[in-house]
Amino acid sequence: MKKKKVLFISSTGGHLNELLQLSPLFEKYDYHIITEKDKTNEYLKEKYGKKVKYLPYGTRSHLLKYIFIYFYLILKTIYLYILIRPKVIVTTGTHTAGPMCYLGKIFGSKIIYIETFANINRKTATGRLIYPIADLFIVQWEEMLKLYPKAIYGGSIFWNFELGTVLFSKRNRPQFKKGDNKMILVLLGTQHNEFTRLLQEVENCIDNQIIREQVIVQAGFTKYKSNKMEIFDMISKEELDKYMSKANLVITHGGVGSIIMALEKGKKVIAVPRLHEYGEHVNDHQRQIIKVFSEKNYLIGIQNVEDLPEAIKESETFEPNEYKNNNQKMLNIIEDFIEKI
């Protein structure tokens, strides 16, 4: 029997990370993946080959440039839709997926939209846009059903909320000790807004000898110079995996993708939110995300960068709960829907 064509599409960063949690579905269908092209996801081409297509990467922080890029994105979307002709379009957002969903709706494709895990009690702009045309609209928080009455609660795309056992014990994991020639990895993700405050506080910790290890920073679009840290903007997944494997502690912004990446590697994590008042993000949803992860004891969550020194000291004895990726409920909902088409 000929497999149904299913298109999985999202922007890059955390939304792509969410989309890839659906990878168990890929082998069941004639799948295709579309995302924005940047250095962080070039590995997809090596892993999935011709199944991966790219759209131009754009940010609304440069409005005039964004208008031209988005116009080109629409034209390429039309080309890719004609090329693939998907029976179903599955998306986790954001604006990159909007034109594809509306084009698909016009030509009879079924639309499955998964509202991002990052929003707990407010609609996203893309959610508002796609909700009226979605054939299946899934939310990851029960609270969101109040905002989207026709949606289905699918549980988390990342994990179930039952706590696991302690991932590391004092016997089988070296304790984080100052001065033992290990490395700290700092992740700022792919968010276009700068997060200078966090790097300033990391440097303060180095100056005060709270941090004595080598510090490597994936800074993204944050422009920061320091002779006390090794700073990169965007690096490949393979390079990042190497740094991650060597790190004994990860300090990250509150982006879901960065947090999950570190947890999946079994790292101790300190998460710090970007804040809207400092122009570091469009809202304060990272506060909520960090709060949830922290309450589950997956990581050490702080709400202010000034609390970083205490968090580093706490990490010496912190024992996280095991991170479990169990999204079978959501996978079943999506598969059942597709099989009935």
* 101 inside domain: yes
What is the Cα 322 distance to its own chain's centre? Answer: 19
Within a domain: residue 56?
yes
Indicate if 311 and 330 belong to the same structural domain.
Answer: no
Which CATH number fits the domain that encloses residue 240? 3.40.50.2000
- Quick one: 217 and 270 in the same domain? yes
Look at the chain and report how many structural domains it folds into: 2
Query: Collapsing DSSP states into helix, strand and coil, what is residue 44?
Result: helix
61 and 203 co-located in one domain? no
Would you say residue 10 lies in a domain? yes
What pLDDT shows up at residue 57?
86
80: tokens are 């890719």
Whether the CB-CB separation of 220 and 232 falls below 8 Å is answered with no
| Residues 90, 16: Cα–Cα separation, whole Å | 12
Task: Determine the pLDDT at residue 13.
Answer: 82
Are residue 39 and residue 87 in the same domain, yes or no? yes
Alpha-carbon torsion (269, 291, 232, 261), positive or negative: positive
Which among 47, 101, 50, 51 has a CA at the least distance from the CA of 74? 101
Domain that residue 72 falls in:
5-159+325-339
| Pairwise CA distance, residues 10 & 113, whole Å | 10
Under 8 Å between Cβ of 68 and 60? no
Q: Which helix (H) or strand (E) holds 204?
A: helix 196-207
Please report how many Cα atoms fall inside a 13 Å half-sphere around the Cα of residue 149, on the Cβ side: 0
Q: Is residue 176 part of a domain?
A: no
Taking the C-alpha atoms of residue 121 and residue 118, their distance in angstroms, rounded to an integer, is: 10
Q: What is the pLDDT of residue 181?
A: 57
- Alpha carbon of 72 to those of 81, 91, 147, 312, 334: distances in Å? 14, 20, 33, 45, 31
* Whether residue 148 sits in one domain with residue 70: yes
Same domain, 208 and 143: no
Q: Where does 61-187 have alpha helices with state H?
A: 63-84, 98-106, 125-130
Q: What is the pLDDT of residue 252?
A: 98
Residues 16 and 155 in one domain: yes
Q: State whether 107 and 249 are in the same domain.
A: no
SS3 223: coil
Within a domain: residue 125?
yes
Predicted model pTM: 0.78
The reply to whether 16 and 138 lie within a common domain is yes
pLDDT at 61: 62
Burial state string for 318-331 with b = 16 or more CB within 10 A and e = fewer than 16:
bebbebbeebeebb
The verdict on residue 23 lying in a domain is yes
Given this model, what pLDDT does residue 238 score? 79
Co-location of 275 and 329 in the same domain: no
170, part of any domain: no
Q: Is 13 inside a domain boundary?
A: yes
Residue 138 and residue 29 share a domain:
yes
Q: Residue 64 to residues 59, 68, 69, 126, 322: CA-CA distances in angstroms?
A: 10, 7, 9, 21, 45
Q: Tens of pLDDT along the chain (341 residues)?
A: 789 999 999 998 889 989 999 999 999 999 999 999 987 788 899 999 999 999 998 766 667 788 899 999 999 999 999 999 999 999 999 889 999 999 999 999 999 999 998 888 889 999 999 999 999 999 999 999 999 999 999 998 975 443 333 333 332 333 334 445 589 999 999 888 999 999 999 999 999 999 999 999 999 999 999 999 999 988 777 788 889 999 999 999 999 889 988 998 999 999 999 999 999 998 899 999 999 899 999 999 999 999 999 999 999 999 999 887 678 999 999 999 999 99
Q: Note whether 288 and 335 are same-domain residues.
A: no
CB atoms within 10 A of CB 277: 7
Strand-by-strand arrangement of the 52-55 sheet: 52-55, 30-36, 5-9, 88-91, 110-114, 136-139, 152-153
